[in-house]
Amino acid sequence: MAFQKAVKGTVLIGGGAIATVFGLSQFSQYRNKHGTFVNVQAAEAVTVPIKHDFPTREEQILALKTTREFDVLVIGGGATGCGCALDAVTRGLKTALLERDDFSSGTSSRSTKLIHGGVRYLQKAIMKLDFEQYRMVKEALQERANLLEIAPHLSAPLPIMLPVYKWWQLPYYWVGIKLYDIVAGSQCLKSSYVLSKSRALELFPMLRKDKLVGAIVYYDGQHNDARMNLAIALTAARYGAATANYAEVLRLLKTTDPGTGKERVCGARCRDVLTGQEFDVKAKCVINATGPFTDSVRKMDDQEVPNICQPSAGVHIVMPGYYSPDNMGLLDPATSDGRVIFFLPWEKMTIAGTTDSPTDVTSHPIPTEEDINFILNEVRNYLSVDVEVRRGDVLAAWSGIRPLVTDPNSKDTQSISRNHVVTVSDSGLVTIAGGKWTTYRAMAQDTIDAAIQAHDLNAGSSKTIGLQLQGAEDWSPTLYIRLVQDYGLESEVAQHLASTYGDKAFEVAKIAQVTGKRWPIVGKRLVSEFPYIEAEVIYGVKEYARTAVDMISRRTRLAFLNVQAAEEALPRIVDIMGKELNWSEQKKKEELEAAKKFLYYEMGYKVKSDQLTDSSEITLVPSDIERYKKRFHMFDKDKKGFITILDVQRVLELMSAIQKGHVSGSRLAVLMKTAEENLGQRVVIPVDRSGGGL
């Protein structure tokens, strides 16, 4: 029965595939002939001079205050907003961008880190003959190729394994994945292929073995999303866009059109969040690119306008790198509740997600214990029984809000679009909503095209296809070797700098401090187990970082990789930023507390604390309590009344004991006794974490 169902389904899909292949083959031939020429032509057609460096934030704020009128004012500093600013400024339009928080502080830094077309959307397109879904996949695959080309230092192809546990699924999935390659055409990263059971286990040894039939491997792209977003913003700034983070829009400005008597949006009243100063920014066209906050800005224009944003929460968790191979991801196409889960290597860790559930719009989304456990349970289903998937191995967790939209121009008002929607209000406010990270450039192009048409702006076609982003121009895969040889950086640190800053890595290396060691010569790490160095904090300030949260979450990715490591690095980060930005001692304390609050609520500390409090049962007899209290005070030699991370590093076995829910019978007693005997002679030695987490 299962076999007949498989054959029937495969034949149906294969039949549709034949027609699809024919049409797409014609398209692919056309792109082979003309695609490369178009890319080069678009990038070289940019006539706007690019600056060697980008202005300071103070210079950008001054430009916003003193410019009489911009052609385009973009509200929102996520991927789409920054993409709009870059598209507009490279067409020769006088451009401004305002972001209430930091660049990429919202959804754009909380993605699955994939640059993809969407395998599941293609499945829906074929099964339901949905041309819109197909068009979205095709566009995304074209944009995937472009993004990998314009920022090779921040992105790379990633093989993703789809394990198969039933024989009939093998031809079914194979046809679907092959169609994915065909739709990509000449821009297919690498051809997908089938693996035998033994070969699949060789490449992904932690995979569950029982009932495994084989696997299919296909390719998508992966990137550092927050850094990619920042690269777009910095590139726009270098081309002359006045871009400012921490510049909040308070209300839209309007004027009456003398010809029609209608009110027209002509700018925005905004506030510099850091200084409290308010000022007006005038513009011929205002673009709303605020993601989940789309409706908030639309209601600034018209209080009666219906909502179009349908926010959906996506939670991800980060686990130690040993949970996945260094260069192989995993896709679970059908979880217990029908959602798709990715299990991917990222920054030498393992990222797992995502969930998809309705949520309220908020600037500070919080991951829930329910979502974290859902992901962990799905991971357990696919990993070998020999691999103990522990709650304590969750090093970080975060929630991002997807701005799904209903098209206001659609007759079916209940349909939610995963494609993007561009609308122009009666007063001229241009709104771009929906879409996904991969298609940010195409979304920006469509938005600026609509703005030019609606406001009769003097500009040509988009120039951003093939336009290299900040750091890409002189980058090469071997650039890190020059950093090692010329500056004496550790190889791991040099690789990190090259893959984060591209050809700008040399600017970071130049300001790196001497270590005083034989090797490395320069580059003091913020924490021992991650390649982030103190010089990045100084450079991060230059890149418009203005809070400690900016530094731990978006200029570096520490908060997204390991919240304990991020907390450990905070005091030093605050000291360096304080010196660069002339912070008072009070300001330093405020920044430290704000960053800890961010880690506690938004990066997963709180849910772990709650989980320990609610579910752990530590049973001690009165004599044990008294004995361990004395030993606690022996370890708390500074009389703080609590144990710090460094204290915990001395007694790392404590973490294992707490995770198991008991203390008696562990090696803790032996460790405590030894520590009591040697506490006076001990020297604090940093111990790299071996996987214990939140």
CB atoms < 10 A from the CB of 132, how many? Answer: 14
Gap between the Cα atoms of 449 and 344, Å rounded: 36
Give the distance from CA 185 to its chain's centroid: 27
Upper half-sphere CA count for residue 352 (Cβ side, 13 Å): 27
Q: Which of 371, 386, 403 is the last residue of a domain?
A: 403
pLDDT of 43: 64
What distances in angstroms separate CA 413 from CA 133, 297, 410, 539, one per listed residue? 17, 20, 6, 47
Based on the fold, state whether residues 363 and 416 are members of the same structural domain.
no
Gap between the Cα atoms of 439 and 446, Å rounded: 11
pLDDT of 142: 95
Q: Which of 384, 403, 422 is the last residue of a domain?
A: 403
Based on the fold, state whether residues 216 and 316 are members of the same structural domain.
yes
Q: What CATH code is carried by the domain that includes residue 544?
A: 1.10.8.870
**Is residue 103 in some structural domain?**
yes
**Is residue 142 in some structural domain?**
no
Helix axes 131-150, 119-127, angle to 10 degrees: 160
Gap between the Cα atoms of 562 and 317, Å rounded: 10
**Is residue 129 in some structural domain?**
no
Based on the fold, state whether residues 241 and 256 are members of the same structural domain.
yes
The candidate with the shortest Cα–Cα distance to 315, out of 250, 243, 374, is 374
**Is residue 211 in some structural domain?**
yes
Based on the fold, state whether residues 187 and 328 are members of the same structural domain.
yes
Q: 22 CB contacts (<8 Å, ≥6 apart)?
A: none
Residue 503 is part of which domain span?
Answer: 478-610
Give the distance from CA 5 to its chain's centroid: 39
Gap between the Cα atoms of 578 and 572, Å rounded: 10
Based on the fold, state whether residues 166 and 199 are members of the same structural domain.
yes
Based on the fold, state whether residues 381 and 322 are members of the same structural domain.
yes
Q: Which of 553, 578, 610 is the last residue of a domain?
A: 610
H or E stretch at 353: strand 349-353
- What is the tens place of the pLDDT at every residue in 6-31? 434 443 444 444 344 434 434 443 34
* Token pair recorded at residue 131: 């041309």
Q: 644 CB contacts (<8 Å, ≥6 apart)?
A: none
**Is residue 540 in some structural domain?**
yes
* Helix, strand, coil share of the chain (percent; to 5): 45, 20, 35
Gap between the Cα atoms of 528 and 347, Å rounded: 15
Exposed, middle or buried by CB within 10 Å (0-12, 13-18, 19+), for 336? exposed
**Is residue 320 in some structural domain?**
yes
The values of phi and psi at residue 195, to 5°, are: -120, 145
Based on the fold, state whether residues 275 and 366 are members of the same structural domain.
no
pLDDT of 406: 81
CA diameter of the chain: 89
Q: What CATH code is carried by the domain that includes residue 328?
A: 3.30.9.10
Q: Is the CB of residue 552 less than 8 Å from the CB of residue 566?
A: yes
* Averaged pLDDT in 10-residue chunks for the chain of 694 residues: 41 44 41 42 74 93 97 98 98 98 96 91 77 88 97 97 93 93 93 96 93 95 98 98 98 90 95 98 98 96 93 94 94 76 95 89 93 92 90 95 79 58 96 95 98 96 97 97 97 98 98 94 96 98 98 98 96 98 98 97 79 54 69 70 64 49 49 51 39 40
Give the distance from CA 398 to its chain's centroid: 10
Q: Kind of pairing, strands 278-288 and 70-75?
A: parallel
> Per residue in 466-504, is it b (16+ CB within 10 Å) or e — as a string?
bbbbbbbeebeeebbeebbeebbbbebbbbbbbbbbbbb
* Rg of the chain (C-alpha set): 27
Task: Give alpha helix (H) positions in 396-490.
Answer: 440-455, 479-487
DSSP 225-270: HHHHHHHHHHHHHHTT-EEESSEEEEEEEEEE-TTT--EEEEEEEE
Gap between the Cα atoms of 63 and 83, Å rounded: 20
**Is residue 471 in some structural domain?**
no
Based on the fold, state whether residues 442 and 484 are members of the same structural domain.
no
pLDDT of 62: 98
**Is residue 19 in some structural domain?**
no
Based on the fold, state whether residues 290 and 189 are members of the same structural domain.
no
pLDDT of 611: 58
Based on the fold, state whether residues 270 and 384 are members of the same structural domain.
no
Based on the fold, state whether residues 335 and 201 are members of the same structural domain.
yes
pLDDT of 119: 84
Q: Kind of pairing, strands 242-244 and 95-98?
A: parallel
The candidate with the shortest Cα–Cα distance to 476, out of 152, 38, 37, is 152
304: left (phi over 0), alpha (psi -120 to 50) or beta: alpha
Q: 402 CB contacts (<8 Å, ≥6 apart)?
A: 107, 292, 311, 312, 313, 314, 356, 436
- What is the tens place of the pLDDT at every residue in 557-603? 999 999 999 999 999 999 999 999 999 999 999 999 999 999 999 99
pLDDT of 488: 97
DSSP code, position 415: P
DSSP 188-200: -SS--EEEEHHHH
Based on the fold, state whether residues 198 and 332 are members of the same structural domain.
yes
Q: What CATH code is carried by the domain that includes residue 84?
A: 3.50.50.60
pLDDT of 609: 62
Q: Is the CB of residue 82 less than 8 Å from the CB of residue 103?
A: yes
**What domain count does the chain have?**
4
